[in-house]
Amino acid sequence: MEWLTTLLQTFAKPFQWWIVVAPWERGLRIRLGKVVVHLTPGIHFRIPFLDRVHVQSVRLRTLLVTSQSFTTKDGQPVTVSFTVEFSIVDLRLMFDSLSAPDKTLMYRAAAAIGDFIGAHEKTEIAVPAMEVFATNALAGFGCGLGKIRVCLTTMAHARALRVILHEYGETSGLHNRFDQEGACNS
């Protein structure tokens, strides 16, 4: 019987005349693809088939990026994991500017950390300085996002495991055995 309820709800959704925005959300109502209205928390009316409504949480979000490998100025490998925190401050600007804010921030943060590590020698790298550098690099990004902060969770002055295993396989003959068996060696 639950499948019938789900089926009815799915078919009834396009005909719904209202939308509810929770206190931690904001919304945009787009009428006929032209008129955009900001929706604040509460109940709002919509015209089925003429209005498109996008509701988005504006709470703080945290993205985890694991095991990014970089090379220092003096050629030493460094592997880092970090988080990127952000919230949405202008929903319209975000929708107008970005299609995937999560991925965009992760890639930009990784690029900023890579720039920092690439400009310093192994002995010069300090975690607080790297976090400040990456956070400042993203601070001017805007695009409707705010409270952007980068935090390193781990940092190791070593190569990533798969690079080590790949090199081990080449030197030990293990690499050739994997190629002959058809296994992936990267």
Tens-place pLDDT, residues 65-75? 988 899 999 99
| Residues 149, 105 contacting (CB under 8 angstroms) | no
Supply the pLDDT for residue 176. Answer: 46
Residue ranges, CATH 3.30.479.30, the chain: 61-161
| 3-state percent helix, strand, coil for the chain, nearest multiple of 5 | 40, 35, 25
| 116-126 average pLDDT score | 91
pLDDT at 89 over 80: yes
Pairwise CA distance, residues 98 & 90, whole Å: 12
- Note the pLDDT of residue 39: 92
Indicate if the pLDDT at residue 15 is higher than 80. Answer: no
Please name every residue paired with 86 in a beta bridge, in sequence order, or none if there are none: 61
Contact of 58 with 24, CB cutoff 8 Å: yes
Cα gap 147→137, rounded to integer Å? 13
Contact present, 84 and 106 (Cβ < 8 Å): yes
d(CA 58, CA 37): 17
Per-residue pLDDT, 183: 44
What pTM did the predictor assign? 0.72
Q: In this model, does residue 43 exceed pLDDT 90?
A: yes
Share of the chain above pLDDT 90, in %: 46
| Residue where the block lists tokens 């604040």 | 40
Both tokens assigned to 151: 């935090």
> Cα-atom radius of gyration of the chain, to the nearest Å?
24
Average pLDDT value for residue range 120-144 = 89
Average pLDDT on 149-160 reads 82
What CATH number belongs to 61-161? 3.30.479.30
